[in-house]
Amino acid sequence: MKNKIKKTLYILCTALGMLPTFTSCNYLSVEDYFNDLTPLDSIFARQNYLERYVWGTAGLLPNQGNLFSNANGPFNLAVDEFLLSWQKNEYAGTYLYAGKIDQNSTYYNMWSQYYKGIRKCNTIITRIDECRDLKPLARRDLLGITYFMRASFYFYLLELYGPVVIMPEQPMEVDQPSEALSFERSTYDECVDYICKDLEQAYQLLDPSRPTSEFQKPTKYAAAALMSRVRLYQASKWYNGNPFYADWKTSDGRNLIAQVNDPSKWAKSAAASKRIIESGMFALHTVPSDDNTQACPGAPQDAFPDGVGGIDPFHSYADMFNGEALSVKNPELINSIGLADNVVRIAFPLKMGGWNGLGVTQKLVDAYYMNDGSDYEMQNDYYEQIGESKVLATNYELRPSVARMYLNREPRFYASIGFCECLWPGTSLSGTETPNRTNIVAGYYVDGNCAKESANPEDYNLTGYTFKKYIHWEDNCYGQQNARVKPKDFPVFRYAEILMNYVEALNEFQGQPAYEETADGKTYTIQWDPNEIMYYFNMIRYRAGLPGITLSEASDQETMRQLIIRERMIEFAGEGRRYHDLRRWGLAFEEENKPIQGCDVTKKSTERDQFYSVTNIVHKYSLRSFDNKMYFYPIPRTVLDKNPKLIQNPGWDGWGDW
């Protein structure tokens, strides 16, 4: 029996490209794997043991709250939003555009971990009925969670590597010829369809909501949200009728990336979004206006969601991310996970215990609108001080030394961007150092209080901008008693993304016949409707305190396309969406090869006009070069060597003319 199990394990490991020998395969070494299997009879004999096994499987999912340090992919660092002042293994995303990643690199090697999760999910699904004392409701929930997890593991593989291997759900027969023990990857569409099949199962099995004690567990609408996202990827230009990959095929001649554009893919994404929208269970997070709420020029004053009336746009957006809003009561969160504290520390000034090295690019800064919805245009007095304090919202103040170029920007700008002369209150600190470590006005000038220090020569901001989206006004990183960072959640899926997915899918579905899809006995009809596009897009705009778009704009496909590209960059800044958006739109080569720009941090505080002028950042870590092979991350060479049917992604192994 032991030999039979070993042979079965060999088949599975070979298929996944993970088996060097029977004894040295990390968690998939045969002895470790055998020891893992031996107690399965016991695990499936008791409900509480089975539940532990399910939660252990969930532990293999990536912690998406690790946005920068020890992340599961290069998604927040290898993108045009940020420039980090270090390049090191902990922040390996910085290596990608620097040409320091190849198929032999070990950074973000998630292949084995995710396939281990898939193997465990398959075990649960095929053996769950062996658990005799499993109550029907518990069975339904555990099975729904497992289908959601399996879909998630495959989705995360798809995000990183493109088309991957879809594994058999049942153990293989052990007497097959060796040629049958190796698997090649499925097509992109086959991967998406498999993921969505699992998500449909999860959608049917999971409850629509969770009690507070189980808030981070998936619901049926988390399944629909992932379906909305992966279908949006599938429908997008780079994966839907892209001749760039015309020669990339399976061994039997099927194109790994679809060569014929299929507009119905947009409708499928829209239908998944519509399930969530029409459930009535979610809404954009809003905070009531108060005496410090600033008027929004040009925006309708009707009550939200028909205008900006009654809400504070700054806090409606900011409090979702900075820990002020209670996540379990936030109607915008569909699924969330705890945010890593280092996301805060990486941006904080040195004087407050931070690492001071997270720079925001001028491109992201310039994407934000003025508070009347117009674009920013530099004036002659751009660098001059505003000369007086201005309270823009409760707990947000512009100091008199702030440059005029930062006046009258939209609320999301102030909620997200830290700039020179920006105030860092840090009010949680108490003790003798409080006067020196709180209410810091950050100076990114070469002679400022955030400039490089001899003890920490790389800990300084390269662009003159940092990211404050996840920072609360009470947060302080200084290593003294009573300094604290407020706990925060990262939104894995939030309602704003569903609205933006829906708007984009409807816009791209223009000119197509109506599409119908049935779920839970309800039929969802998808058809192009500029009124719906305008309504849902304007919900995002009004929450941000901005004027809405017009029906004329909503009716023009190319106009809307450009508005959506910009709105997603602003609304989802620092949430990991931009990396994938640029790829699915086919814009990564164009956008990621533009020079990194920012303020000139080599200038002194007495040279404000030069400091605040836009400049190309000249630094050893600002050099970036995007190659088309980077649309997909390389599969590790060690994986390929163990599975002869698994070929490398285009360009990473000298394959093809790229």
**Domain range 493-589, CATH class:** mainly alpha
Phi, psi angle pair for 467, to nearest 5°: -115, 115
Whole-angstrom distance, CA of residue 503 vs CA of residue 494: 15
| Angle (CA) 222 116 106, round 5° | 100
Task: Kindly give the parts of the chain with pLDDT less than 50.
Answer: 1-35, 38, 174, 178, 655-658
Q: Is the peptide bond before 513 cis (omega within 30 degrees of 0)?
A: no
Whole-angstrom distance, CA of residue 125 vs CA of residue 147: 8
| Angle (CA) 160 161 166, round 5° | 115
Sheet strands (E) in 306-353: 333-338
Half-sphere CA count of 563, side-chain side, radius 13 A? 25
Contacts of 600 (CB under 8 A, 6+ apart): 464, 610, 611, 613, 615
Whole-angstrom distance, CA of residue 48 vs CA of residue 134: 9
The token duo for 397 is 């103040």
Whole-angstrom distance, CA of residue 551 vs CA of residue 534: 6
Whole-angstrom distance, CA of residue 534 vs CA of residue 188: 32
Whole-angstrom distance, CA of residue 286 vs CA of residue 315: 7
Whole-angstrom distance, CA of residue 424 vs CA of residue 526: 47
With beta carbons less than 8 A apart as the criterion, state whether 55 and 149 touch: no
pLDDT at 439: 97
With beta carbons less than 8 A apart as the criterion, state whether 244 and 517 touch: no
Whole-angstrom distance, CA of residue 342 vs CA of residue 8: 42
pLDDT at 455: 84
Whole-angstrom distance, CA of residue 652 vs CA of residue 649: 6
At 569, the amino acid letter reads M
Residue recorded with tokens 């990336």: 257
DSSP secondary structure code for residue 456 in this structure: B
Whole-angstrom distance, CA of residue 71 vs CA of residue 196: 25
With beta carbons less than 8 A apart as the criterion, state whether 276 and 282 touch: yes
Q: Other C-beta atoms within 10 Å of 24: how many?
A: 12
Phi, psi angle pair for 377, to nearest 5°: -130, 125
Phi, psi angle pair for 104, to nearest 5°: -95, 0
pLDDT at 180: 55
With beta carbons less than 8 A apart as the criterion, state whether 72 and 63 touch: yes
What H or E segment, with its residue span, contains residue 359? strand 358-360
Nearest to 312 by CA among 285, 325, 293, 298: 293
CB burial of residue 388 (10 Å; 0-12, 13-18, 19+): exposed
Q: Is the peptide bond before 305 cis (omega within 30 degrees of 0)?
A: yes
Phi, psi angle pair for 240, to nearest 5°: -135, 90
With beta carbons less than 8 A apart as the criterion, state whether 242 and 248 touch: no
Longest CA–CA span in the chain (Å) reads 81
pLDDT at 475: 97
Contacts of 295 (CB under 8 A, 6+ apart): none
Distance of CA 217 to the CA centre of its chain: 18
What is the domain partition of the chain in residue ranges? 493-589
| Angle (CA) 104 110 116, round 5° | 125
Nearest to 145 by CA among 57, 34, 232: 57
> How confident is the model over 482-518, as pLDDT tens digits?
889 999 999 999 999 999 999 999 999 999 999 999 9
